[in-house]
């Protein structure tokens, strides 16, 4: 490196040192600008904080009541039926929302005690507070009269509809994967019966040989030839692990087999749902002379059936019978609209009033 180059580098180094920092004037000027910005922001925050209402401001109470009233109104307008109602409570159904093909039940209620919350319950879920410190909540109903004629039918208490029991010619009927049995029955009903239903069925069964097997207990409609059809009204399960080596009474309750015509018989079908030999059933294999009962069998998984002339399982069917009565007039109404008044807080000027139309005009019983 020659001398000239060395001098040039020293000069450039000195220049970089000269311009690497702020001068005193620049520093003072930047501090002044920063102070102006800080003061401006502080003023804006002070103005904004004073503009916001505090928790005791009536505007807050009105906004909260308005939001609750809007939520209630948005649901009532879709009501398809009214389960129950009063001046401080309404329970109604809306169309299916969760895809289970069943309507949803919604309930809004205030106890009537000043300070208690307005609550909402969805189906059988938890009761949720949607507005606290409620001072006033009233519902008003605009209804149009509608008179319906309803039947005066009377449903009996549970009674034994059909029974077959015997100590003669006892036999065993083995259920296996392809071999099933079906017991036909038609109860003898009063002359004024309009329908009947099954509540429970009893029969005798014991274990076979494979505890992991499972039998199906079905109630089926008969075909035109009075054989078991493929229409299963309701099914229960009988795990063989619950059976013993001796015959014991098995009882099954049913809830979906109702509205049956007085001339409509049924089949109790015992199938194999899993495994090979889920159960043995007790019955009588000859000299069965009782009308409207008979035993059917299949050995090809229900593809074809045949009946026995003198066979029957030992069984009992319980249920109720509905008989006719005098028609009655029931005073009902269609709900045209619902009015709401709602207030939270002590200021009466924050009361919210609204009217809600119900396009589906749900039916209300007085």
Q: Supply the pLDDT for residue 135.
A: 94
- Region 120-146: mean pLDDT is 92
Residues 6+ apart with CB under 8 A from 328: 149, 150, 151, 152
Output 13 or 315, whichever has higher pLDDT: 315
DSSP assignments along 33-52, one per residue: HHHHHHHHHHHHHHHHHHHS
Q: Is residue 351 part of a domain?
A: yes
268 found inside a domain:
yes
Residue 142 lies in a domain: yes
Run of H or E residues at 267: strand 266-274
Euclidean distance between CA atoms 216 and 176, whole angstroms: 11
Residue 1's pLDDT is 46
- Among 9-18, 45-54, 229-238, name the most confident range: 229-238
Question: How does pLDDT run across 169-213, given as a tens digit for each residue?
Answer: 999 999 999 999 999 999 999 999 999 999 999 999 999 877 789
Structural contact between residues 233 and 219, judged by C-beta atoms closer than 8 angstroms? yes
Q: Token pair for residue 13? A: 């180094």
Please indicate, yes or no, whether residues 139 and 239 belong to a single structural domain of this protein. Answer: no
Q: Is residue 156 part of a domain?
A: no
Where a domain ends, among 34, 51, 68? 51
CB within 8 A of 2, min separation 6: which ones? none
Q: What pLDDT is attached to residue 50?
A: 55
DSSP code at position 260: B
152-174 as b/e, with b when 16 or more CB fall inside 10 Å? Answer: eeeeeeeeebbebeeeeeeeebe
Instruction: Give the count of domains, the chain.
Output: 3
Shortest CA distance to 108 belongs to which of 356, 361, 333, 363?
356
Residue 243 lies in a domain: yes
One domain, residues 118 and 248: no
Is 218's pLDDT higher than 90?
yes
pLDDT value of position 187: 97
Q: Are residues 121 and 180 in the same domain?
A: no
Lowest model confidence (mean pLDDT) among 17-21, 157-161, 238-242, 266-270: 17-21
The boundaries of the domain holding residue 141 are: 58-150+333-365
169 neighbors 286 (Cβ within 8 angstroms): yes
Contacts of 287 (CB under 8 A, 6+ apart): 168, 169, 310
Q: Name the pLDDT band for 302 (thresholds 50, 70, 90).
A: very high
**Residue 366 confidence class, pLDDT cut points 50, 70, 90:** low
The Cα–Cα gap between 173 and 311 comes to: 10
**pLDDT attached to residue 277:** 93
Angle, alpha carbons 262-327-261 (nearest 5°): 10
Q: Scan for tokens 């036909």, then name that residue.
A: 184
Q: How far apart are CA 104 and CA 106, in angstroms?
A: 7
Whether residues 133 and 276 share a domain: the answer is no
- Domain co-membership, 338 together with 217: no
Look-up of token digits 């992991």: 212
* 29 and 123 both lie in a single domain: no
pLDDT score recorded for residue 42: 61
* pLDDT tens digit sequence for 310-356: 999 999 999 999 998 777 666 678 899 999 999 998 888 889 999 99
For residue 29, what are its two tokens?
Answer: 């000027």
Asked if residue 203 and residue 284 are part of one domain, the reply reads yes
Q: Is the CA virtual torsion 66, 67, 71, 77 positive or negative?
A: positive
The whole-number pLDDT of residue 25 equals 66
Whether pLDDT at 145 is above 90: no
Residue 110 placed within a domain: yes
Question: Is 359 found in the same domain as 292?
Answer: no
187 and 45 share one domain: no
The string of pLDDT tens digits covering residues 77-131 is 999 999 899 999 999 999 999 888 889 999 999 999 999 999 999 998 999 999 9
The per-residue pLDDT for range 227-274, each reduced to its tens digit, is 999 999 999 999 999 999 999 999 999 999 999 999 999 999 999 999
Q: Are residues 79 and 211 in the same domain?
A: no
Rounded to two decimals, what is the model's pTM? 0.51
Closest CA to 311 of 110, 152, 173: 173
Please state whether 34 falls in left (phi above 0), alpha (psi between -120 and 50) or beta.
alpha
Is there a single domain that holds both residue 87 and residue 188?
no
Give the pLDDT score at 225.
Answer: 94
CATH number for the domain harbouring residue 189: 2.60.120
Residue-wise DSSP of 95-158: --SSSSSS-EEEEEE--SSTTPPEEEEETTS-EEEEESSEEEEEEEEEEEEEEEEE---EEPPP
Q: Identify the burial level of 105 via C-beta atoms within 10 angstroms of its C-beta, where 0-12 means exposed, 13-18 middle and 19 or more buried.
A: middle
Whether residue 305 is found in the same domain as residue 174? yes
| Domain membership flag for residue 155 | no
Residue 364's pLDDT band (boundaries 50, 70, 90)? confident
- For 54-81, write each residue's pLDDT tens digit: 545 778 888 999 999 999 999 999 999 9
Q: What is the pLDDT of residue 336?
A: 92
In the predicted model, what is the mean pLDDT of residues 160-174?
A: 95
Least Cα distance to 280 among 313, 327, 232 occurs for 313
In a domain, 157, yes or no: no
């Amino acid at each position: 490196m020659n001398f000239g180059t060395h001098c040039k580098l020293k000069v450039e180094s000195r220049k970089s040192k000269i311009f690497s920092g702020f001068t005193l004037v620049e520093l003072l000027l930047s501090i002044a600008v920063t102070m102006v910005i800080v003061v401006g922001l502080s003023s804006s925050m002070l103005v904004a904080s004073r503009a916001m209402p505090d928790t005791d401001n009536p505007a807050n109470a009105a906004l909260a009541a308005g939001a609750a009233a809007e939520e209630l109104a948005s649901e009532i307008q879709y009501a398809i039926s009214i389960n129950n109602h009063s001046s401080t409570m309404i329970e109604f159904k809306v169309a299916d929302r969760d895809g289970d093909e069943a309507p949803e039940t919604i309930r809004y209620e205030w106890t009537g005690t000043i300070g208690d919350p307005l609550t909402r319950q969805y189906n059988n879920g938890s009761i949720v507070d949607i507005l606290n410190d409620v001072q006033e909540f009233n519902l008003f109903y605009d209804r149009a009269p509608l008179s319906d004629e309803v039947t005066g039918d009377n449903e009996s208490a549970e009674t034994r509809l059909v029974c077959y029991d015997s100590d003669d010619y006892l036999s065993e009927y083995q259920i296996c994967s392809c071999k099933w049995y079906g017991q036909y029955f038609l109860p003898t009903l009063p002359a004024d019966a309009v329908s009947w239903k099954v509540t429970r069925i009893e029969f005798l069964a014991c274990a076979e040989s494979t505890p992991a097997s499972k039998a199906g207990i079905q109630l089926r409609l008969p075909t035109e030839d009075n054989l078991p059809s493929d229409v299963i009204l309701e099914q229960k399960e009988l795990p063989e692990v619950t059976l013993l080596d001796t015959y014991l009474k098995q009882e099954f309750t049913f809830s979906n087999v109702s509205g049956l015509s007085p001339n409509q018989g049924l089949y109790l079908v015992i199938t194999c749902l899993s495994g090979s030999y889920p159960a043995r059933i007790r019955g009588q294999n000859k000299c069965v002379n009782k009308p409207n009962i008979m035993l059917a069998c299949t050995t090809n998984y229900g593809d074809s059936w045949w009946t026995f002339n003198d066979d029957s399982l030992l069984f009992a069917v319980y249920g109720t019978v509905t008989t006719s009565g005098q028609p009655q007039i029931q005073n009902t109404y269609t709900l045209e609209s619902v009015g709401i008044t709602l207030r939270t807080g002590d200021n009466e000027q924050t009361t919210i009033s609204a009217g809600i139309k119900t396009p589906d005009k749900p039916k209300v019983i007085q």
